[in-house]
A and B are shown apart, each in its own frame.
Chain A
C-alpha cells in the first residue's frame, strides 16, 4: 500500500515557521519522502480574498509525506504534528490518498484533534 498525506497549513495554523531543514530531519529519521510547497495567494489591501478561490490556490504551506509503511507514516505524522500542531480544517488533508487520509485522521484525533 502506498500512502500519501498532504497537510495544508493555512496562515496562522502552524505554531511555528515550517522549515525545510526540520522536515528533512524527519525524512531522514523515518526514511520517507517529505515535500514542502509554499503557495502565495492573491492579497488585497483588505486581506486575502478566499471565498471563491480553489482550496489549492489560497495562501498555504503544504507538507507532503509519502511512504509504503503505515507505521512510518504514523510516526512521521506524530513528529510533524507535535512540532506544528494539526492543520485545523478537514479540507487541510485535501489531495491525500484515501488510505493516507484515514491514517492522518486517526493520528490527528490521537493528538487532540483539529485544534
Chain B
C-alpha cells in the first residue's frame, strides 16, 4: 500500500510535467494554429501593441534560449497576402533586459506587395531611449544592416536557412545564398521567433543546429504552441 502511494506521488507530478513539456513556443499575437503538421497564422492582419518590434507582428517565440548555434532552418510558406507590405520575419538573438520585454533582436525580414515578396533585409532592433521604462510606447529603433531585392512567391514552400559563418550571418533560400552581412555580436544567444504581418503564413520543420548536432527540432506533429493566460477571477472576501 505504501509503495502504491509512493508511486502515485511520483507519477502525478511526472504526468503534469509531461503535459507541459510539449510546449516549445509562446504565441504572442495573431491566431496561430497547428494543423496538418504545420504551424499556421490564419489572421493575416496584425494588431500592434507599439512596444517592441515583435509585438508589431503576429509572432510565436521559442520558450527556450539558445547559444552558440551555427544554423537555423525552417520551411515556410507565405500562403496569402492580405495587404501591402506583406512581411515575414525570422528573428534570432532575441533578448530582454527585464522580464519579457524583448526589445533587442536581429531578424531576416522578407517584404513584398501584390505580386510577391521582392526584398530581403537583415535588421537590428532595440530600445531607443534606455532611460525610459519598458512600457513606453514607440520607444524602439530599427536599423537595416543589409538588404537585397529577391523574389519569393506566395503559396509556395521555401527552405530558409540562417548560417553563422566566419563572423558573418547569411540567409539561404532554397540553397541559394541571398544575403550575407557581418555579425559583430560576441554571441548569438537568445530566443528565436517567426512573425508575419499583412499575410498568412505556415511554417514547418524548425531546426537549430550546432555543427552536426541538433539542439532543437519541431516538425509540429503536435500542438507545441503555448498561449499565456491572465486569469480574470472573482475576488472573494475572507468574510464571505
- Whether A and B are associated in the same complex: the answer reads no
Binding site for B on A (CB under 8 A): none
